[in-house]
Every structure is written in structure tokens, then in C-alpha cells.
Amino acid sequence: MGDMILGIETSCDETAVAVVERASVVRSSVISSQVDQHAEFGGVVPEIAGRAHVREFVPVLAEALATSGVEGKDMDAVAATVGPGLVGSLLVGMSAAKALSLVWGVPFVGVNHLEAHLYASFLEEPDLELPLVVLLVSGGHTMLVLMEGHGRYRLLGSTLDDAAGEAFDKVARYLGLGYPGGPAVDALAEEGDPRAYAYPRSMVRENPETLPDDRRYAFSFSGLKTAVVNHVRSDPAAATADVAASFQEAVVDALVVKARWAVEATGAKGACLGGGVAANSRLRERFLDMCTATGVRAFLPSRAMCTDNAAMVAAAGWWRLRSDGPSPLDTSADSNLGLSLLG
Ligand code: KG4
Ligand code: ZN
């Protein structure tokens, strides 16, 4: 089986194409972001996203091929995200991937976007030791997963309401920091005091044993968002930088404390981060400290690999192709696709 994979990502508001060799050498990775087109609406507008993917796809593909130095005839497979995401957006990348696989006479591989975020770490550090605790934090998901092998995931816990990225986006919007909110809160928090306000940390205790099993690794961020809103309403003079830093600290505390519990309880060899929120400066710093304190190996993907890109899709596709073979050409888009989990 060949090693040169073309990866395609169009699940949300980034049109991305990459060429990756052996799931570890990035030959090219091109991303066209639609952020400007959605900013005035304060979030991603599905109709605009789908149309923008159609417009952007061919130029992005052309640039990814040209800069990779690899010709279409030398590609061994085409991988595309098939879910979760916006259906109208997913279909653009999937249809293109299927057409290219037919033209080049190579396999098509459908990739789960969550698994792709997870493989961002393997792409940059192929020798990561298993089992591995993975904290997957994006705009749509917040999950703590124990990865026991390639394609073998055990879910430890996830969010009961908002995803971490969603909380960043909602709080940023309320504070008037614009869209997307995560990077804006991250930057402003640098100038604030993380201890200025004691916002709530949901289901966080001194001793994890005092929490019921199904809550131990669970997260909840909607109460935190409400606490921030109520506080700012009652204290309009509060410095926005202090609010941003205190909010960020509360999110990071919950994420890092539970990741530490997971590392301690599972005896994992390492821990890694994935998803857009993994680009957060404070989370990266605190996660590294936690790994040092517990004596496990940490891996933080570069910031560019944390947010949506197609290199991670190509890497996940290479592993999927090895374990399951090609996907059928009638594979459909699944907006709610979950990570396939061990019992
Ligand atoms: O993984 P991603 O690019 O797309 C999804 O699959 O959802 O994640 C996007 C999310 C957004 O909510 C964005 O605000 C958040 O990641 N994000 C950040 C940072 N950069 C992106 N959140 C906190 N700090 C950041 N530096
Ligand atoms: Zn994503």
C-alpha cells in the first residue's frame, strides 16, 4: 500500500487540502479560512460556508498539489472528512475526494474529524507511546479519551453541555471581543489577572473519588458562562482583561484537573492535546506542567495543527486505510458522527 495521501477538510469554515507522506511528512498544507465571511454574523453561517467551500476548493487543491511537488498520478489515496460537521460543507470536500479517487484510480478514505484532531499529535510525533490520554477540545467537542491503540478509544468523559471552544466563543461575544472568540480571549487574558474573580469550576473536587463515576471526567461550561455574564452585569466596571483571564483560568482548571486524574487513574504513558482550544496559551502551559508533575510524556501539537487543517485528515486517513481499507464510494456525510469507541 502506498504512502502518499491527499487529505481534504471542509467540515466547517476552513477549506483545506494537504499532501502527507507516511502520516508523518507534510509535503504541503494549504488552508483558506472563511472567518471574515462569518464574522459579521458572530458565528458560522452554514449556507455561506457551503458556497465558500465550492468557490475555494479548486484554488486550494491546485496550490496544495503545486507546492507538494507530488503529481496527481503519484498519489496513493484520497482522504476526506465525512463528519461530524456541517453537511453542506462536508459534501463539497467528500464529493471532490471521490471524484479525484476515480480520476487517479486510487482508494477513497472517509475520515472522522475528531480522529483527525487526535492524529495531529501523531503527525508531528509518530513515536508517541500508548496508552495515551487525549484531551480533545474544539468548538463542537470536549472529550477526555484513553487511546489504547490506533483506532482504539475509550471515552472517559465529555461535556454535559457546551464545548470548551463554544464557551470561549460565547463569552468573547458577550464581552464584545468578536469572532472567533478563543484567540481573542487568549490574547486579552495575557494582560489580565487570572485570580481576579473566582468563577465556578464544575464537578472539580480535591478528591476525584467523591464524584460519581459518570461525573468524574465530565465537563460543564454553561454555568461558567452564565456566572461570567451575571458578574459583568452586576459589576460593569470590572476590567475586561481580568474577566477574560479569570474565565480562561476556570476553563483550563477543569480541563487540566480532569486530565491529571485520567493520567493517574489509567497509568497512561503520555498525554496529548487536540482540537482548536489546544492552541490556547494558558491550557498549553498548564497541561505541560501537569505532565511534568505526574511524570508522563506530554505532547502538544503546534498551534497550526490544533485548529482545522487537512494534514491531520491525511494522517488519520493513512492509519484508517491500513486498519480498515478503502471506504465505499457511497459513504455519506454524517453531521453527528461520533468517535467509534471501545465498549
Ligand atoms: O478544532 P477547531 O478549529 O474547529 C472545530 O472542530 O470545532 O476549533 C475551533 C474552536 C473555536 O471555538 C475557537 O474559538 C477555539 O477553537 N480556539 C481557541 C483558541 N484558538 C481557537 N480557544 C481558546 N484559545 C485559543 N487560542
Ligand atoms: Zn475541528
- Give per-residue pLDDT as tens, 252-310: 999 999 999 999 999 999 999 999 999 999 999 999 999 999 999 999 999 999 999 99
Nearest-atom index, ligand 1, CA of 306: 1
Give the pLDDT score at 118.
93
**CATH code of the region 4-117+306-341:** 3.30.420.40
Q: What's the predicted TM-score (pTM) here?
A: 0.95
* pLDDT, tens digit (0-9, with 9 covering 90-100), for 179-191: 889 999 999 999 9
Q: For residues 229 and 340, what is the distance between their CA atoms, to the nearest angstrom? A: 36
Mean pLDDT of all residues belonging to the chain: 96
Q: What is the pLDDT of residue 179?
A: 86
In order of 87, 128, 242, 286, the CA distances from 230 in angstroms are 35, 43, 15, 27
Helices (DSSP H) in the chain: which residue ranges?
35-39, 46-68, 87-104, 113-124, 164-174, 181-189, 213-216, 222-234, 240-266, 281-294, 303-306, 311-324
124 pLDDT exceeds 80? Answer: yes
- pLDDT score for 268: 96
Cα distance between residue 254 and residue 1, in whole Å: 43
Buried b (16+ CB within 10 A) or exposed e, 182-198: bbbbbebbeebebebbe
Residue 293's SS3 state is helix
Cis omega (within 30 of 0) for bond into 84: yes
CATH number of the structural domain 129-303: 3.30.420.40
Q: How far is CA 171 from CA 176, 243, 274, 285, in A?
A: 9, 10, 21, 22
For residue 57, how many other CB atoms are within 10 A of its CB? 20
Nearest atom within ligand 1 for CA of residue 181: 14
CA–CA separation, 13 and 15 (whole Å): 7
Mutation to probe ligand 1, out of 138, 171, 336 (largest number of atoms < 8 A from CB): 138
Distance between CA 20 and CA 318 in Å, rounded? 9
Question: Can you give the residue ranges of every domain in the chain?
Answer: 4-117+306-341, 129-303
For ligand 2, the distance from its centroid to the CA atom of residue 233, given in whole angstroms, is: 32
pLDDT at 143: 97
Report whether 186 contacts 179 (CB < 8 A).
Answer: no
| Residue 66 φ then ψ, to 5° | -60, -45
The answer to whether the 4-117+306-341 and 129-303 domains have the same CATH topology is: yes
Distance 196 CA to ligand 2 centre (A): 31
Q: Is the CB of 192 under 6 A from ligand 1?
A: no
| Residue whose entry in the numeric block shows the C-alpha cell 508517541 | 128
DSSP string, 99-163: HHHHHHT--EEEEEHHHHHHHHHHHH-TT--SSEEEEEE-SS-EEEEEEEETTEEEEEEEBSSS-
Contacts of 218 by beta carbon, 8 Å cutoff, 6+ apart: 157, 158, 159, 160, 203
Contacts of 61 (CB under 8 A, 6+ apart): 8, 17, 96
CB atoms within 10 A of CB 127: 8
Choose among 8, 32, 35: nearest CA to 19: 8
Residue 343 has pLDDT above 90, yes or no: no
Contacts of 130 (CB under 8 A, 6+ apart): 147, 148, 149, 269
For 125, list phi and psi in degrees, rounded to 5.
-140, 80
For residues 264 and 107, what is the distance between their CA atoms, to the nearest angstrom?
A: 41
| Closest C-alpha residue for ligand 1 atom 16 | 276
Q: What is the mean pLDDT of residues 188-216?
A: 96
pLDDT (0 to 100) of residue 1: 59
Q: Is 178 in the pocket of ligand 1 (CB under 6 A)?
A: no
Whether 331 shows a pLDDT value over 80: the answer reads yes
Amino acid symbol at 40: E
Q: Is 179 a pocket residue for ligand 1 (Cβ < 6 Å)?
A: no
Exposed e or buried b per residue across 65-76, where buried means at least 16 C-beta atoms within 10 angstroms of its C-beta = beebebeeeebb
Which chain residues have CB less than 5 Å from ligand 2, an ion? 138, 308
Q: How much is the average pLDDT of 121-146?
A: 95
What is the reported pLDDT for 180?
87
3-state secondary structure of 272: strand
